[in-house]
Chain A
Amino acid sequence: MKSALSGVVVLALAVALQSAIIRQITLLQGSADLVLLTLAAWYMHEEAPGSWVWAVIAGLMVGTLSALPWWLYVVGYGGLAAVALFLRRRLWQTSYFAYFFLILVGCALTLGLSWAYLRFVAGAGIPLAPTLNRVFFPSLLLDVLFALPVYSLMDEWAAWFFAEEPAL
């Protein structure tokens, strides 16, 4: 419950920053996904509870703001959570490499789902090649640029959050 409430606070801040500021920092047509970075950094933290709650909250929040259906974001961020939890189970110790791998997978998943929906369901004429050149790769580069600062902030947040847990 406490984790979910903290998720609402952190993710609401991330969504607001994403919509108001980060979305205006563009490289070609790509932009960083602060919500994805926040989720990836949270799931990479060893003490973070391995639940899907944060992914669902993030999906609902972004879905409310975006013109794309909310379930698309829930599926995208849910997939990110699944990969993150899989990595945490398989790897003895999560590393920066796992974090960057998670960002790559999350970026491909969320943007791929968005493109597929727009192309095949909404009928928008968005070819694949410009999507890769003008949206996916620039977005991935910006995600990588923002990755470490977000990881540091989330690390501080997690340290503060778990320090308040009563010792058993």
Chain B
Amino acid sequence: MFKISPRTLRALLIALVVIGLLALSLGGYLTPLTRWTTRPVLAVQAWLARAYEGARLYLNAPQDIHALRAENQRLKAEVSRLQTEIVTLQQQLTEAELLSALLDFARAHPQNEYKAAQVIGRDPNPFLHYIIINRGSDDGIRVGMPVVSAEGLVGHIDAVLPDAARVQLITDPQSSVDVVTQPTHTQAVLVGSLTGELSLDMVPLSAKLNNGDLVLTSGLGGRYPPNILVGQVVSVRKLAYALFQEAAVQPVTDFRQLQIVLVIVNFRPVDITPLMKPQEKQP
């Protein structure tokens, strides 16, 4: 018989206990015990971690706030810059669309030479329908030149300064334009009004005039070149006892939104007033 020393016996016992614990642990039998023993430890650990984090934040807070404020200011400035850039780009886009439309108009009427101008103001008097443009005699603008938009006729140059000009719109109460309707080929005079509404005047009762007829310049009178679109007939009023029939015209140009216009610079208007005066003097 060999004799086992107490030391070896202790080692074997410890090994057996360890192996047993491992086996119990691997089998999941120690989980409740582990949970029961680790819970207080973890709670203490969590409390310590929170306390440390709180202390760290408290100690570093002034620096962080300063850094955050600086960052906030920088971001605000960046947002302002980007918003300004967006507005600028939107303006440029609108302008590009307008110029594109004006270019289309110019291509559709290649016989004319144009000078683009920006609308910079309006006549201060509420009775008058005039606009001020940023082109004048220095740019070759002369009194009487027709002015158009991408949609159609706008008016004509009424007065010129070296770097600005005044345009009488066709909606002005004193404005009159010789026009022709399509497809009925009826000659008429388009007149403006105080309210900015357009109407056809001097149309004989026998003349054909229908809703939806297009209204174009006729070229008579020598003030405007022919075949520039002005608007569309929206209603016709014919009274049996009247000498002439009247018609309301919807202009193709939105005169409240005018931003850029084209001046037809190669058109020379003809002043026929001296030819009309002797007739007016007749009884």
CA separation between A118 and B196, bound complex, in Å? Answer: 16
Interface size of A by Cβ–Cβ distance < 8 Å?
Answer: 32
Given known pairs A65-B132, A67-B130, A67-B158, the reply for A134 and B194 (CB within 8 Å) is yes
| Most chain A CB neighbours (cut-off 10 Å) among B123, B125, B166, B196 | B125
The answer to whether B47 has its CB under 8 Å from any CB of chain A is: no
| Most chain A CB neighbours (cut-off 10 Å) among B120, B122, B126, B159 | B126
The answer to whether B212 has its CB under 8 Å from any CB of chain A is: no
The answer to whether A5 has its CB under 8 Å from any CB of chain B is: no
Given known pairs A67-B168, A135-B194, the reply for A114 and B124 (CB within 8 Å) is no
The answer to whether A38 has its CB under 8 Å from any CB of chain B is: no
Q: Which one of B122, B125, B194 lies within 8 Å of A131 (CB-CB)?
A: B194
Which secondary structure dominates chain A's binding surface? Answer: helix
Closest partner residue, chain B, to A32 (CB atom):
B126
Q: Which residues of chain A from 103 to 136 have any CB-CB distance to chain B below 8 Å in the complex?
A: 111, 114-115, 118, 122-126, 130-131, 134-135
Q: Which residues of B contact A152 (CB under 8 A)?
A: none
Closest partner residue, chain A, to B173 (CB atom):
A124
Q: Which one of A18, A23, A30, A125 lies within 8 Å of B173 (CB-CB)?
A: A125
B173 touches A126 (CB 8 A): yes
The answer to whether B183 has its CB under 8 Å from any CB of chain A is: no
B120 touches A20 (CB 8 A): yes
Given known pairs A118-B173, A124-B174, A130-B194, the reply for A66 and B121 (CB within 8 Å) is no
CA separation between A18 and B212, bound complex, in Å? Answer: 38
CA separation between A26 and B128, bound complex, in Å? Answer: 13
Q: How far in angstroms is the closest Cβ of chain A from B36?
A: 78
The answer to whether B52 has its CB under 8 Å from any CB of chain A is: no
Q: How far in angstroms is the closest Cβ of chain B from A39?
A: 13
B125 touches A67 (CB 8 A): yes
Q: Which residues of B contact A123 (CB under 8 A)?
A: 174
A23 touches B127 (CB 8 A): no
CA separation between A27 and B132, bound complex, in Å? Answer: 21
Q: Which residues of B contact A131 (CB under 8 A)?
A: 127, 194
A29 touches B194 (CB 8 A): yes
Q: Which residues of B contact A18 (CB under 8 A)?
A: 124
Q: What string of 1s and 0s marks CB contacts (under 8 Å) between B158-178 and chain A?
A: 110000001010000110000
CA separation between A62 and B168, bound complex, in Å? Answer: 16
CA separation between A152 and B279, bound complex, in Å? Answer: 57
Closest partner residue, chain B, to A35 (CB atom):
B124
Q: Which one of B121, B123, B194, B196 lies within 8 Å of A67 (CB-CB)?
A: B123
The answer to whether B112 has its CB under 8 Å from any CB of chain A is: no
A30 touches B121 (CB 8 A): no
Other 8 A-B pairs with CB < 8 A, given A19-B124, A125-B173: A16-B121, A35-B124, A65-B121, A65-B124, A65-B132, A67-B125, A67-B159, A130-B195
Closest 6 CB pairs of A and B: A19-B121, A23-B122, A124-B173, A124-B174, A31-B126, A20-B121
Q: List 20 A-B contacts (CB under 8 A).
A: A19-B121, A23-B121, A24-B122, A24-B256, A29-B195, A31-B126, A65-B121, A65-B124, A65-B132, A65-B166, A66-B123, A66-B124, A66-B128, A67-B130, A67-B158, A68-B125, A114-B125, A118-B127, A118-B174, A130-B195
